[in-house]
Structures are given as structure tokens and as C-alpha cells.
Amino acid sequence: MKKVLTGIKPTGIAHLGNYFGAIKPAIELSKNSEYQCYYFIADYHALTTVQNKEELYEYTYQIACTWLACGLDPEKVVLYKQSDVPQTFELSTILSNLTPKGLMNRAHAYKAKVEVNEEAGEDKDNGINMGLYCYPILMTADILLLDSDLVPVGIDQKQHIEIARDVAGYFNKKFGNTFKLPQELIAENVGVLVGVDGRKMSKSYGNTIPIFADEGKLKKLVNRIVTDSTAPDEPKTLDNTIFKLYKLFGTKQQTDEFAERLQKGISWGEAKSELFTLMNNYLSPMREKYNYLQSHREIVDEILKKGGEKARQIAQNTILKVRNAIGVVDIK
């Protein structure tokens, strides 16, 4: 059975871009009996930016409740928090000694910040902490510790998996074959999900639709979707945000019928109202489950506790192998 592992940073509320781009495909993958999946909340990765006790605490529950409400089956998937697996941080320290500094200099997230600083005429490392700089090493530790074969990630994370593979290779070469070489699994192009302003849905554009927005908020957001100035009874092109979103939620038949009505000419107001109804029908059972879990956190705690125990067992086996390989003596 192949081991599949991925992490999500608790840095804010999940939106439809996260759902269709990462969460839904990962949940579908977990239904395949050839895979054992390990999905975790990367709370120590979030610490590079989320440095506020209440925020980190709340975001962590948000992510856990999100996975569960979107259909993750905790009997099948090991769901855990990175911070519940302290071996991660030991392995990260060990691996940092095998990672060339130059490799970190070339990592995208760090490089992007350096470029911003340089353009602004600041010192190149202005505002950059070591957590960000060593981020790929911590991620490598997550991956290698649980003996992962496949790592489903967005294209933006591809370089990190390549780094993980490189570092695993350096270790194996120096200390003998210890780690599997993990492979990234890039989600098929679901297309860029558009936000209410027609640009890519992204927190940084402020155009997102949160997965669990309540009915009133969802309606407001749908109404905010930018449309063109085609008159109500004129035919509409299908190259519009409303139709793009509709396609994600509707069955093939629903989508075909909607396309036909748009092309015949229904008003944008009517189109928005149809989109809202479809989305709301799809999302409301998930929203209910999310709200239930948020107000019954003891259920979530229990799931994360069990997941942590399972992950720690695997982690402990790996770390013993690693200690042994590098010559750290375990006193019995």
C-alpha cells in the first residue's frame, strides 16, 4: 500500500479555491484502497507568519473541522497535527546538517521575499525569519518521517518536494539507504478557480468565497460577482464567472441546461440566483457538519489525538533508524 501524505497550513479560513484545488481531490484519493493517507495540520509551518496565540489555536480547529466536514473519514485517513509529532523537529535538525545553504537560497518562498526587499531598497533579509528560510527542511522532515511515497500538492509546492527528494538522497548517500524518495502528485489542472471579481480566487485579492460562509453571506458574495453589461434578455457568453462556478457544483445535465438558458438570454440577476441555490444546496450539509464540529470540539480533539498516536508510532520507528544511521547512541 502506498503512503500518501500532505499538510495544510492553518493560516486562515478555507475558501472554494482550497476546496476544489486541494481538499476535494485529497479526499477522493483517500477513498482509493491502494493508498494509506496521512493528512496533517502544519501548525509549525504556520508559525512563520501566524504569531498570535488565539489565531493559531482557532485556525487549527478551522482546518481540522474543514477536512472532516468536507468528508474526510477519520477511520481511513490518519488526521493529525504536526506539533503532536515531536520527532519532526528532531529530524528537521538532523536534516539541516545535510542541506546545502545554497539550496535554501534558491527556494521560491524565500527568494520571492528577498526580491521584494531588493526592489524596495531594503536589506535583502529584512523581515525574514529562520522559520521561513528553513521551511523546506521542516517540510522534508514531515515527508520523510512518515515514509511517504506520494505527496499531493499544488504546483507552487513542487519545488519543496524536489528539495525533499534531494535531501533524502544526500542522507542515503552518506549514511546508507534510509529514506524512500518521495514523489509529488500535482492535482490535474482543475483550471484556475475564479473569485468574485473574475481574477484567480486568492486571499491576497480579497475575492474569495469561504466554503462555510453562512447562507446570507454566500448570497451576498454571489451577488457581488462581477458581470458584463449584456442586457437582461440578450444572450450571454459562457466565459463568465457565474458559469465557471456553476460548472464546479452542477452535474453535467444541470450545467448543460444552465448553459442553454444563458445563451438564450436570462438576466444576470436570475443567473446569480440559480447559482446561489445550486451552491447552497451543495454546501449546506457540509456547513452544518462544520458548525456542529466547531461547537463539539471534543470530537475533533479525540480524532486528532488518535491520529497523533498513529503518526508518532511511525515517526518513532523512523527516528530510531535515523539515529542509528548517524551514530547517535541510544542508552537503554
Judged by CB under 6 A, which of 142, 218, 274, 319 binds ligand TRP? 142
Nearer to ligand TRP, 49 or 324 (CB): 49
Closest CB 63 distance from ligand TRP, rounded Å? 11
Contacts with 237 (C-beta within 8 Å, 6 or more apart), sequence order: 228
Report the residue count for the chain: 332
Instruction: Give pairs for 296-299: CB < 8 Å, separation 24+.
Output: 297/61
Whether 203 is catalytic is: yes
Write down the catalytic residue from 24, 113, 244, 310.
113
The interface with ligand TRP within residues 6-25 (CB under 6 A) comprises 6-7, 9
* Cα 239 from Cα 234, distance rounded (Å): 15
Judged by CB under 6 A, which of 14, 85, 98, 151 binds ligand TRP? 151
* Cα 305 from Cα 307, distance rounded (Å): 5
Write down the catalytic residue from 24, 180, 203, 244.
203
CB neighbour class for 123 (10 Å; exposed up to 12, middle 13-18, buried from 19): exposed
Tell me how crowded residue 129 is: count the other CB atoms within 10 A of its CB: 13
CA 303 to chain CA mean position, Å: 19
Nearer to ligand TRP, 87 or 157 (CB): 157
Residue nearest to ligand TRP (CB): 7
Q: Is 42 in the site for ligand TRP (CB under 6 A)?
A: yes
Closest CB 129 distance from ligand TRP, rounded Å? 16
Contacting range for ligand TRP; rule: CB under 6 A; set: 4-12, 215-223, 256-264, 294-302: 4-12
* Cα 115 from Cα 124, distance rounded (Å): 7
Q: Is 45 in the site for ligand TRP (CB under 6 A)?
A: yes
Q: Which residues are known to be catalytic?
A: 113, 200, 203
